């Protein structure tokens, strides 16, 4: 029987959080962890999914062309087939074995990796004509239109174009991409806090609504259009909490640019300070951190080997990253986790 395989990695975002849906700048790095989908055709319209991931249900089915949300992880698959059918793609029933090395809900792009891997498998299985940009669009539509999480496009682009050995500057204003080498001195520990987020039901959508409300109030299409204005002049025209939300987005774009300069100069102290500043902004201005994430970041900063730390991903739970010199990340993470007394080391990058 014919079979097709699709793979896609997760990602960490070195810096540039909650900027993508504001036409901003992001700096993700692909992980060596990801999702693999092996698909086979069926002789009817049923999609039958089986996964080894730590989710429920482990096995489920639905009818292609009659996708209905049930609130489980399988909605990402339903969203993919619904989006493909909406584009006129000749998708039929299939069997899919889904394996994942990514912790779900840890802020590492697992939803996007699942969608991208499934689209790639279905592209091969049904001989679909889709380039990488179209794969990103389909995977994003599954998340935003079907699942209802109004996330930006970073995760899909990072999963498709990201590389483990380098950061990828993505400008969401024009979707341009520039590879940025990671200095040999750098190492990152990615630590799962053990707390979970759910973009669609948490505060993620509300944060996007607040940014859109601020843009309307200021008469611009997106917050990116404010970059040539003096920050203080912009903020004084906004009521709280919109002023804080906008301050985070505009200063975070600046931090992305400064982080690129720090990477190119191999200045880990400067990069660490930017990570620290990003976390404070996400905690205080954007208000997407949690007590657990703050504690984990504080423990990381207190470690002798860590140059800087911040939450990574959408917030409301998930993971943090800690910057160290090469060869120090794993031992630093072990010390941090002993004091935190929960969570786990997910990855060391690069």
Cis peptide before 350 (omega within 30 of 0): yes
CB–CB of 326/186 below 8 Å? Answer: yes
- Polymer length of the chain: 350
Catalytic annotation on 155?
A: yes
- 120 alpha carbon, distance to own chain's centre: 19
CB–CB of 345/309 below 8 Å? Answer: no
Give percent helix, percent strand, percent coil of the chain, each to the nearest 5.
Answer: 40, 25, 35
If we measure between CA atoms, which residue out of 317, 271, 278 comes closest to residue 296? 317
Burial of 342 (C-beta count, 10 Å sphere; 0-12/13-18/19+): exposed
If we measure between CA atoms, which residue out of 293, 308, 208 comes closest to residue 258? 308
- Tokens representing 273 are 């300070």
Catalytic residue, from 20, 23, 75, 155: name it: 155
Burial of 55 (C-beta count, 10 Å sphere; 0-12/13-18/19+): middle
CB–CB of 325/269 below 8 Å? Answer: no
- 19 alpha carbon, distance to own chain's centre: 11
Catalytically active residues are 155
């Amino acid at each position: 029987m014919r079979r097709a395989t699709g793979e896609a990695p997760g990602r960490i975002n070195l810096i540039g959080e909650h900027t993508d849906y504001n036409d901003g700048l992001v700096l993700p790095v692909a992980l060596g962890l990801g999702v693999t989908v092996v698909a086979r055709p069926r002789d009817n319209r049923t999609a039958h999914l089986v996964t080894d991931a730590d989710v429920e249900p482990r096995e489920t089915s639905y009818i292609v062309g009659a996708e209905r949300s049930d609130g489980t992880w399988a909605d990402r698959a339903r969203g993919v087939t619904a989006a493909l059918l909406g584009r006129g793609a000749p998708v039929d029933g299939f069997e899919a074995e889904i394996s994942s090395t990514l912790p779900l809900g840890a802020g590492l792009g697992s939803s996007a990796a699942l969608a991208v891997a499934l689209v790639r498998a279905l592209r091969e299985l049904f001989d679909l004509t889709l380039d990488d940009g179209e794969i990103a669009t389909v995977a994003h539509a599954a998340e935003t239109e079907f699942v209802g999480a109004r996330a930006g496009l970073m995760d899909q682009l990072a999963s498709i174009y990201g590389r483990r050995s380098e950061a990828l500057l993505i400008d969401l204003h024009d979707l341009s991409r520039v590879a940025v080498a990671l200095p040999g001195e750098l190492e990152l520990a990615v630590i799962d806090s053990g707390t979970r987020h759910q973009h669609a039901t948490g505060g993620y959508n509300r944060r996007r609504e607040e940014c859109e409300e601020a843009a309307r109030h200021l008469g611009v299409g997106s917050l990116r259009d404010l970059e040539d204005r003096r920050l203080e002049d912009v903020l004084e025209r906004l009521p709280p909490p919109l002023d804080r939300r906008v301050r985070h987005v505009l200063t975070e774009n600046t931090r992305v640019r400064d982080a690129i300069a720090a990477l190119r100069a191999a200045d880990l102290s400067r990069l660490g300070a930017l990570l620290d500043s990003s976390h404070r902004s996400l905690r205080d201005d954007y208000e997407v951190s949690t007590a657990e994430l703050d504690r984990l970041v504080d423990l990381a900063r207190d470690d002798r080997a860590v140059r800087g730390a911040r939450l990574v991903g959408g917030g409301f739970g998930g993971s943090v990253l800690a910057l160290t010199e090469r060869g120090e990340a794993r031992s630093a993470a072990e010390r941090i986790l002993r004091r935190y007394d929960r969570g786990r080391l997910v990855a060391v990058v690069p």
